[in-house]
Structure 1
Amino acid sequence: MTQTAIPFLFMRGGSSRGPYMKRSDLPEDRDRLSDVLISLVGAGHPFNIDGIGGGTAVTTKVAMLSKSDDDWADVDYFFAQVSVEEKLVDYKPSCGNILVGVGPAAIEMGLVEPVGDVTEVRIRAVNTGTRVAALVQTPGKRVRYDGKASIDGVPGTAAPIQLQFMDVEGSATSGLFPTGHRTEEINGVEVSCMDVAMAMVIGRAEDFGITGYESAAELDANKALFEKMEAVRLIAGERMGLGDVTKSVIPKLGLLAPPRNGGAATVRYFMPWKCHPTLAVTGSQCLASCLLAPGTVAGGLLPSPPSSPARMQLEHPMGNMEVVIDFAEEDSTFQVISAGLMRTARKLAAGDVFIPGHVWSGS
């Protein structure tokens, strides 16, 4: 059997990992592209045994990079969420954790020229239109991966990568509150439907019959919880203008509870059919914005509204994630201007990944 070789970098970005490839090394046709990514990851098997996926939603992600024709951006980042057990690919969302590796990968691929000890890489997330400025450590014009920065959910330390997200409102919908309501009832449960970097349905943990302090494994075993959340999510997707979201990973679902360790809130983020082991970068921005915006289901969790920019610690199953939200509030209008985070990334492997020739010949 002939095989097709595709150049790739294998990288950890934040608390996710996956292949990073040049868009030009992949088929243009979307259906053929999906076939390639399904084969590459090994989707359709719980262990992704015939591909390089890791058997979880945070390890079946793909980043495709190209030089940008945007006046502001240096590089375009096209993201694909490949399913684990189904042969499906979703191109609607972006992924903030995988985005952490885009700056280093773009430099490694020669798409961006390093400048000085720190190189700013301006990224356009083409799935959502979000603009992100990433500061990458490049002493001697080489990407530096070692350092003293740590993030919960990832062992060890690495060089910090500072991210500033802009144009985050309405990533996949009509705006910050796509249904026109800050709070609404679905199936007898009060939720807030919001879109800041990620379209989300946000509720209170207690309203879904949990404490909000359960581990990811405990939540994954709670089938009744997922049935209740999915029924709410499907209706919310329609109301948010996303149509039938039965086979789409957006909107995501997030649940809030009071903090236990001095943070702004305890959060549980769902991808949506499993609990995230930590917290998505995009989801952190939406959840933090929900805490800040008056009139949402998060009302009362913050003892007093902070001033802008607000530095907030969100407590997730494996620790904390800090997000800084720059916002404006005037009269009854609430606006998210930008969001900042610090994450890390590391190059794990480089070379060629192989797919069967009958899936794509490479021509």
Structure 2
Amino acid sequence: MSREKLPFVLMRGGTSKGVFLKEEDVPSDRAKLTDLLLDLFGSPDRRQIDGLGGADKLTSKAAIIGPPSRGGTDVDYLFGQVGTVRPEVDYNLNCGNLTAAVGVYAIEEGFVAPVEGTTVVRVHTVNTNRVVRVEVPVKQGRPVTVGNAQIGGVPGTGAPISLDFAEAVGSITGTLLPTGNVLDLLDVPGVGHVEASIVDGPNLAVYVHHSSLGMSGVESPDEIDSNEELKARMDAIRKVVAYRCGLREYWDSRLAPSTPMLIVLSGPQSYRTCTQSDLVAAESFDLVVRQYASGSASKTLAGTLTATTGVACRLPGSLPHRLIAANDARRGGTTLTFGHPSGVINVDADLESAGFKVRRLVVIRTARRLAEGSAFLKRPF
């Protein structure tokens, strides 16, 4: 029997917002699931006016939640990056920000029994077959959402949720350093030789210095998105890396591939946020980062890429390590701070030097339920 109504929960996790659906309520077939999600979100349409999409890639996300299919975990989480202007859903990546909301959702929906104080939710990220340890504050059997944790890109404060990505390294290619090198010299058609570090943490990232692209390093997302020539050079670099990392078939099959992510780096310099034009002072962070993929720049730095950048900064000889060396020695400890277009984000990154084993890779986020109800579809499923 076909259905036209679909129960959903709208959740914010970190700087992302997503529509949460239960695995039992949606098709298991990926092609059918993709059709459903495009209908649900109102895609393709830049405004997503006829669906639940938020008209931005940070708010055009789906989370499919179900019982665990992997031992030692509590819940399955399938992530879908729903296209806005293109009719496609990308499953070849994970959203770390929404993972914080997965922890809250899992407790609220009864997938995980609440433990007073702190409830640990071990999330199996189906897309990448990795595990993220989520620690959710709980009081009187319910997730706590009120607190003093403030994150760049989200107004106000909330209760801190700890995400440990230590078991999520090598998510896309299966290895931390897909090329075997901490630093590569890429020969990019139309761009020339580009020095880059390619690191596969919770997401696959390629790091380049802003000077390689003729950038200042503190461009706003709008400035990047309005520069078609710059975006073409960025995509040329990403394509070379995708091919080198064994992702040729994936890359060639997508209109706007999400993987690999390009991260443009700069040493500390002051800039203003793209949200409220607040000053982000150079002395408050270790690196300026600008994230680009799937045809546009991000207004924040993804949680998974924050963790990946934390790992990259701990790899001697890598481009990120070279740029943070002076600041890292001055600050001490294992915490790193990155300046993104909407503010700053921190990661606690601790690696063993022998074999680059990740001991701890923690990002703090906040999350809460925003709405729940039934969505009405144009096409029954």
TM-score category (smaller protein):
over 0.9
- Is the 8 Å Cα contact of residues 316 and 322 (structure 2) preserved in structure 1? no
Residue correspondence of structure 1 range 1-363 to structure 2 within 5 A: 4-186=4-186, 187=188, 188-244=193-249, 245-246=251-252, 247=254, 248-260=257-269, 261-262=282-283, 263-304=285-326, 310-330=334-354, 333-358=355-380, 360=381
- What's the TM-score once normalised by structure 2's chain length? 0.89
- Is the 8 Å Cα contact of residues 175 and 200 (structure 2) preserved in structure 1? yes
- Is the 8 Å Cα contact of residues 17 and 58 (structure 1) preserved in structure 2? yes
Aligned-partner SS, 2:143: coil
Unpaired runs of 5+ in structure 1? none
The amino acid across from 1:25 in the alignment is D
The amino acid across from 2:4 in the alignment is T
**Deviation (angstroms), 1:42:** 1.0
- Is the 8 Å Cα contact of residues 207 and 319 (structure 2) preserved in structure 1? yes
**Deviation (angstroms), 1:133:** 1.5
**Whole-Å separation in 1 of the counterparts to 2:127 and 2:103:** 17
Aligned-partner SS, 1:300: helix
The amino acid across from 2:230 in the alignment is L
The amino acid across from 1:321 in the alignment is I
- What's the TM-score once normalised by structure 1's chain length? 0.93
- Is the 8 Å Cα contact of residues 92 and 250 (structure 1) preserved in structure 2? yes
**Deviation (angstroms), 1:299:** 4.5
**Whole-Å separation in 2 of the counterparts to 1:299 and 1:43:** 40
- Is the 8 Å Cα contact of residues 4 and 376 (structure 2) preserved in structure 1? yes
Aligned-partner SS, 1:58: coil
**Whole-Å separation in 2 of the counterparts to 1:94 and 1:253:** 15
**Deviation (angstroms), 1:338:** 3.4
More helix by share: 2
Computed over aligned residues only, the root mean square deviation of the Cα atoms, in angstroms, reads 1.8
Aligned-partner SS, 1:44: coil
Percent identity, please. 35
- Is the 8 Å Cα contact of residues 178 and 241 (structure 1) preserved in structure 2? no
* Deviation digits for residues 125-145 of structure 1 (CA, Å, limit 9, x no counterpart): 111122112121221112222
**Whole-Å separation in 2 of the counterparts to 1:308 and 1:195:** 25
**Whole-Å separation in 2 of the counterparts to 1:308 and 1:6:** 50
**Whole-Å separation in 1 of the counterparts to 2:172 and 2:325:** 31
Aligned-partner SS, 1:99: helix
**Whole-Å separation in 2 of the counterparts to 1:234 and 1:288:** 24
* Deviation digits for residues 223-260 of structure 1 (CA, Å, limit 9, x no counterpart): 11110010111111010111241422111110110013
C-alpha change, 1:357 and 1:44, in structure 2 (3 Å) is closer
- Is the 8 Å Cα contact of residues 163 and 364 (structure 2) preserved in structure 1? yes
Aligned-partner SS, 1:107: helix
**Deviation (angstroms), 1:206:** 1.1
C-alpha change, 1:165 and 1:272, in structure 2 (3 Å) is same
C-alpha change, 1:341 and 1:299, in structure 2 (3 Å) is closer
Aligned-partner SS, 1:301: helix
- Is the 8 Å Cα contact of residues 308 and 328 (structure 1) preserved in structure 2? no
* Deviation digits for residues 72-114 of structure 1 (CA, Å, limit 9, x no counterpart): 1111111111111111011110100111100111112121121
Number of aligned pairs?
A: 356
**Whole-Å separation in 2 of the counterparts to 1:157 and 1:288:** 24
Unpaired runs of 5+ in structure 2? 270-281
**Deviation (angstroms), 1:193:** 1.4
C-alpha change, 1:194 and 1:308, in structure 2 (3 Å) is farther
**More moved, 33-42 vs 184-193:** 184-193
- Is the 8 Å Cα contact of residues 62 and 79 (structure 1) preserved in structure 2? yes
C-alpha change, 1:182 and 1:253, in structure 2 (3 Å) is same
- Is the 8 Å Cα contact of residues 266 and 314 (structure 1) preserved in structure 2? yes
Which residue number in structure 1 is paired with residue 273 of structure 2?
none
- Is the 8 Å Cα contact of residues 67 and 76 (structure 1) preserved in structure 2? yes
Aligned-partner SS, 2:325: coil
- Is the 8 Å Cα contact of residues 309 and 327 (structure 1) preserved in structure 2? no
